Structure 1
Amino acid sequence: MRPLRRAARRLPSPRFTALHGARRHAIVAALLLGSWAAGPVAQAQAQEATPNALPALGDAISQELSPVAERRLGDRIMRSIRRDPDIVDDPLVQAYIEQLWRGLLVAGRLRGEIGPELDSAHAWTPFLIRDRSVNAFALPGGYIGVHLGLIAMTNTADELASVLAHELSHVTQRHIARMIGQQSRTSWVSIATMIAGILAASRNAQAAQALIYGGQAVTAQTQLNFSRDMEREADRVGFGVLAQAGYDVAGMASMFEMLQQASRLNDDGSYPYLRTHPLTSERIGDARARVGLAHDRAGPLASRPDGERAAWHALMAARSRVLMDTRSVALQALLQQEAPANATPMQRVARHYTTMLAAQRGGAPSQAMAALAQARDAARALPAVQQQVALRVLDLGEAENRLRDRQPAAAAEALSRAIAAGASADARPELLMAAQIALAAPPGVARRAHAEQVAERLQSQVSRQPDDATAWTLLASLWAELDQPVRAVRAEAEAVAALGDLPGAIERVQGARTRFRQPDAAEVIELSVMDARMKAWMRQQRADLQDGS
């Protein structure tokens, strides 16, 4: 991925650079489009409504901002913030979040919350933020930001899914469109600047704290937070989506209660939800009442602690705990933690997995492998369905360890075991790992054959997910290894564009036009595709400049 990173630093977007400089401008207001709370002063005077007679707010705002216009706004915001180093692509955690998210989307469609127009217009894409604070937020167009700290602190998939269902409901009920529509003078650049503040909180805590108490931030926050009616509607609709998707609806009430307790015990800024979305006793009571009614109608909906979903959550929460803060002091703290004496087998596996990842990130491969062996021993006590999940995750962890220790053959063996444990060879985590192994293999016929096979599979991946910057970056390196420079340049341009650097992508295509003046038949086709893509990027760039002025 080094060529892409160099390109991103060499060709910064002027607007993106401005975002970093303006982060101090509105750190609290940046929580604008998401999390779980009503605004402070002005919204405290909002008209109350009973939970069972909430207005259908989404019905009244269709004139404010169309779904297509909202998606365009969301796309432009994402292009402005996509290259922030705290927006991370961890294939395993991303796959887990997307699995939860897809189930909620299906439920939203079945319930009629997501109609055909909204469904086709929006991106419905979650993304991860490297931040230890507990937060999630919705952006225009169906983009959902999830802090790794949120995943790390939730105890069950039901609790995490309840947050995602709430944020999904802000989108489906058109709360974002209404809020933006009421602020007709707010440009997408201004909104992107405020959102960028979310990503700066962990890096500039003093500035963030100052803004919390600054009059300018308070004013912005009262303008941008969701109203109490919107919050209650998101609770109500999100609860229905959560139940339809097959989650334990008690997860929403337990999440509320956990956040409320955290607000009493901890006020160090780790819980942005609690500042921008204060939990009222009414909301918590409503959640409890809905759980009681649901259980009365359908019987107990308790989660299965021995199920596959519980295993995935325990391991991905452990992984998030490491990835959310990779400073040496944080990694050392994780290495010193031990599982309690009464820990379940799954908790023991997760604890050893945390140790393995912390040692891996801390540059201690032998310690990582020792922790991996302990995790495998603990996994023997798991039920069969959980053992399958654990072995896949642990085998992928070993493959990563081996690659870091420059042992590509051993990494390939570990990857083969992960696939044998039930994963598809073309599942994104396994496919990206296969590409890294192919690039790390020693030169020779076998390496070339492997690279060719993985490149073709990656080409299929990017055709399904054209915005997969990581896949495009690996594909660019593979095509370069296979002496196909035109395809390599095209893949690198697509990767840069997927990260929002349209000028950088355009420059690469223009460079290819000059470099390859006598292309063969296959290269002519590839260059034609690149020309078409360049024209599309230039149109996007002009539209961004026009709308941001």
Structure 2
Amino acid sequence: MKHKEKTRALRRRPEQLPLRSRLMAGLLAALVLATGPTVGRAQVNLPTLGDSVSADLDVGAERRFGEQIMRQIRPDPDYLDDSLLLEYVQSIWSPLVQAATRLGNIGDETQDHFAWETFLVRDKSVNAFALPGGFVGVHLGLIAMTVSADELASVLGHELSHVTQRHIARRIIGDSRNSLLATAGMIAGLIIAARSGSVDGANAAIVGSQAAAAAASLAFSRDMEREADRVGFNVMNQAGFAPAGMLSMFERMEQAYHLMDSGNYPYLRSHPLTSERIGDARTRMGTEAFVRPPGLAVHALMAARAKVLMDPRAETWAQLQNLDAGVRDTSTAAPGRGFEQLGARYAGALASIKMRDFGRAENALRSAELTLQLIGSEPQSARMLSYLRAELAQAKGQAADGFAALKPLAAERSRALLMQRAQLAMVDSRGADTARQAADDLQTFVSLNPKDAGAWAQLAQLWERLDQPLRAVRAHGEVRAAMGDLNGAIDRLRSGLRQSRSREADQIEAAVIDSRLRALLYERRQLLAELYPRGVPPGAELP
């Protein structure tokens, strides 16, 4: 049975593989592409920190590697588009990028070529990772285990520094050279076995070469980690985050180190936490007095949201419904305890919404609102609870209550508000006016943000509800284009052109689809020419 399961797994299409497997496949593809130019060199030397790697892997090639990997990640179900969580992570990420630019860590070349994009991964493990080209992934488990924005900023600043210091390019080049060393050792082992007939001699040669390659890679990684700590610390400090955030994050990770073998802390495997790194963080912090960071309530709410969304199993949500058990008395809570209670009640309310236990969700939400009043209401925290009340109304199919909950936020022009209004419009039974308004607002938004696949997907649903098939098809095509699936986008737009041949079709929208289709066909030709400079082979498809 196990053999059959493995066989079926091997036969699955790429889009059916788990995100981790597809991420590894993309990284391996980038590594293979990077290996090519180094094969014919007479001498191979690992780059030292501070050296330019542009001769081996320029920023354009690194960005293309990153895009290739992201084309594998974006269609994955674990690639999460949650407007509120993404907005919160972005509110920490953007100041870090701006600070790195002011410090000179981001030069003109990388600023223009790299994406500088964060994305969320629905995974309960504590992890974050940087990809080629300026893409940084954040697991929900990491957000859920932090207690302040400063702690999360320390991890994002560290990963940002991996990008700005070109560590990823160096690692690709270093690993490709190390793989050549291991391959050479295997070939030597086979030659020894053929000449002497000694299997032990062959194994010794192979193991020795692999050990040498692993040692070189490990030493290189430790240098990178030390530099990323130093640069990341300066970046987060320049961005206005408390330096104590890095130390408290290290201490939290150190306390959790014994859990590493359970697989819950992959971050500790890719970023080994040594006593030297912890000591350096303490030294950098110096004698600075600890000051309670601002925004703890907002972070508590977002950590609770991540805790609910990172594991969509019903048994997990049932446990989270009881998360605030035993923390009922807010008035006598110790300092900081109120934020824990606030998060627990938010998690209980959101989990109850997911379980469609609306009575319990209402009670937990009211309790969260009361807790926020007692610990001191913050505008951003009250805003998050307003969104949660709108989510509850949406789940109950009571759109009017949801719009009423969002009324205090009418002045903002955030993506989160546009998406929530669109979702409420989908369940509004009072007529098509709200759907039309939501569609028009989203159409304006995507015209300014054409790479937002989530917004296009929501817009497609609205156009379908409004019986606008051509606009819906075009929006579905734009979803695929934003995800990097040019073939899928072209197929959908061609389908739209076929539908436009009927007399009742909107010919203006048909003209828009035709123009967009021509642009995508040109983009595909350019990309294929870049991938196959000697000529595109018959039947070649985009990766």
Could you tell me which residue of structure 1 aligns to residue 405 of structure 2? Answer: 414
Contact (CA 8 Å) 1:130, 1:324: kept in 2 or not? yes
Contact (CA 8 Å) 1:57, 1:174: kept in 2 or not? no
Q: 1:520 to 1:150 in 2, by over 3 A?
A: closer
Could you tell me which residue of structure 1 aligns to residue 285 of structure 2? Answer: 291
In structure 2, how many angstroms separate the alpha carbons of the residues matched to 1:115 and 1:173? 10
Which stretch shows the higher mean deviation, 59-68 or 101-110?
A: 59-68
Could you tell me which residue of structure 2 aligns to residue 442 of structure 1? Answer: 429
User: SS at the partner of 2:323?
Assistant: coil
In structure 1, how many angstroms separate the alpha carbons of the residues matched to 2:209 and 2:120? 28
- Which amino acid letter does the alignment assign opposite residue 352 of structure 2? A
Could you tell me which residue of structure 1 aligns to residue 451 of structure 2? Answer: 467
In structure 1, how many angstroms separate the alpha carbons of the residues matched to 2:211 and 2:389? 48
In structure 2, how many angstroms separate the alpha carbons of the residues matched to 1:539 and 1:481? 35
- Which amino acid letter does the alignment assign opposite residue 433 of structure 1? Q
Contact (CA 8 Å) 1:125, 1:142: kept in 2 or not? yes
Could you tell me which residue of structure 2 aligns to residue 508 of structure 1? Answer: 492
- Which amino acid letter does the alignment assign opposite residue 528 of structure 2? R
In structure 2, how many angstroms separate the alpha carbons of the residues matched to 1:105 and 1:283? 23
Q: Do residues 277 (structure 1) and 263 (structure 2) align?
A: no
1:405-455 deviations in Å (ceiling 9; x for gaps):
1111111111224x16xx61x2111110111112221153xx23x223222
Deviation at 1:486, TM superposition (A): 2.4
Relative contact order, higher structure (CA 8 A, sep 6+): 1
Q: Which runs of 5+ in 1 are unaligned?
A: 1-11, 34-54, 188-213
In structure 1, how many angstroms separate the alpha carbons of the residues matched to 2:341 and 2:483? 38
- Which amino acid letter does the alignment assign opposite residue 73 of structure 1? F
What is the CA RMSD across the aligned residues, in angstroms?
Answer: 3.3
User: SS at the partner of 2:57?
Assistant: coil
Q: 1:532 to 1:485 in 2, by over 3 A?
A: same
Q: Which runs of 5+ in 2 are unaligned?
A: 1-10, 32-46, 180-206, 534-541
Q: Do residues 91 (structure 1) and 80 (structure 2) align?
A: no
Q: Do residues 180 (structure 1) and 149 (structure 2) align?
A: no
Aligned residue runs from structure 1 range 232-243, under 5 A:
232-243=226-237
Which stretch shows the higher mean deviation, 539-548 or 62-71?
A: 539-548
Q: 1:237 to 1:25 in 2, by over 3 A?
A: closer
In structure 2, how many angstroms separate the alpha carbons of the residues matched to 1:141 and 1:116? 14
Count residues in correspondence. Answer: 471
User: SS at the partner of 2:105?
Assistant: coil
In structure 2, how many angstroms separate the alpha carbons of the residues matched to 1:85 and 1:288? 39
Contact (CA 8 Å) 1:496, 1:504: kept in 2 or not? yes
In structure 2, how many angstroms separate the alpha carbons of the residues matched to 1:394 and 1:371? 11
Q: 1:167 to 1:366 in 2, by over 3 A?
A: same
1:492-522 deviations in Å (ceiling 9; x for gaps):
1011222343322111111122221366552
In structure 2, how many angstroms separate the alpha carbons of the residues matched to 1:491 and 1:321? 32
Q: 1:267 to 1:180 in 2, by over 3 A?
A: closer
Contact (CA 8 Å) 1:356, 1:369: kept in 2 or not? yes
Q: Do residues 134 (structure 1) and 121 (structure 2) align?
A: no
Could you tell me which residue of structure 2 aligns to residue 430 of structure 1? Answer: 417
Contact (CA 8 Å) 1:26, 1:220: kept in 2 or not? no
Identical-pair percentage: 46
Could you tell me which residue of structure 2 aligns to residue 395 of structure 1? Answer: 386
Aligned residue runs from structure 1 range 103-114, under 5 A:
103-114=95-106
Deviation at 1:525, TM superposition (A): 3.5
- Which amino acid letter does the alignment assign opposite residue 495 of structure 1? V
Deviation at 1:91, TM superposition (A): 0.8
Q: Do residues 527 (structure 1) and 526 (structure 2) align?
A: no
Aligned residue runs from structure 1 range 74-89, under 5 A:
74-89=66-81
1:145-194 deviations in Å (ceiling 9; x for gaps):
1000000001111111000000000000001111223455999xxxxxxx
Could you tell me which residue of structure 2 aligns to residue 322 of structure 1? Answer: 308
In structure 2, how many angstroms separate the alpha carbons of the residues matched to 1:510 and 1:139? 33
Deviation at 1:540, TM superposition (A): 6.7
User: SS at the partner of 1:513?
Assistant: helix
In structure 2, how many angstroms separate the alpha carbons of the residues matched to 1:433 and 1:216? 56
Could you tell me which residue of structure 2 aligns to residue 485 of structure 1? Answer: 469
Deviation at 1:457, TM superposition (A): 1.6
Could you tell me which residue of structure 2 aligns to residue 332 of structure 1? Answer: 318
Which stretch shows the higher mean deviation, 160-169 or 429-438?
A: 429-438
Q: 1:107 to 1:412 in 2, by over 3 A?
A: same
Could you tell me which residue of structure 2 aligns to residue 209 of structure 1? Answer: none
Match of 1:153 among 141, 145, 150: 145
User: SS at the partner of 1:381?
Assistant: helix
Which protein has the larger Cα radius of gyration, Structure 1 or Structure 2? 2
- Which amino acid letter does the alignment assign opposite residue 535 of structure 1? L
In structure 2, how many angstroms separate the alpha carbons of the residues matched to 1:481 and 1:217? 59
Contact (CA 8 Å) 1:180, 1:186: kept in 2 or not? no
Could you tell me which residue of structure 2 aligns to residue 365 of structure 1? Answer: 358
- Which amino acid letter does the alignment assign opposite residue 499 of structure 1? M
- Which amino acid letter does the alignment assign opposite residue 442 of structure 1? S
Contact (CA 8 Å) 1:487, 1:526: kept in 2 or not? no
**TM superposition score normalised by structure 2:** 0.79
Deviation at 1:265, TM superposition (A): 5.6
**TM superposition score normalised by structure 1:** 0.78
Match of 1:542 among 521, 528, 537: 528
Contact (CA 8 Å) 1:322, 1:331: kept in 2 or not? yes
Q: Do residues 302 (structure 1) and 312 (structure 2) align?
A: no
Deviation at 1:527, TM superposition (A): 2.2
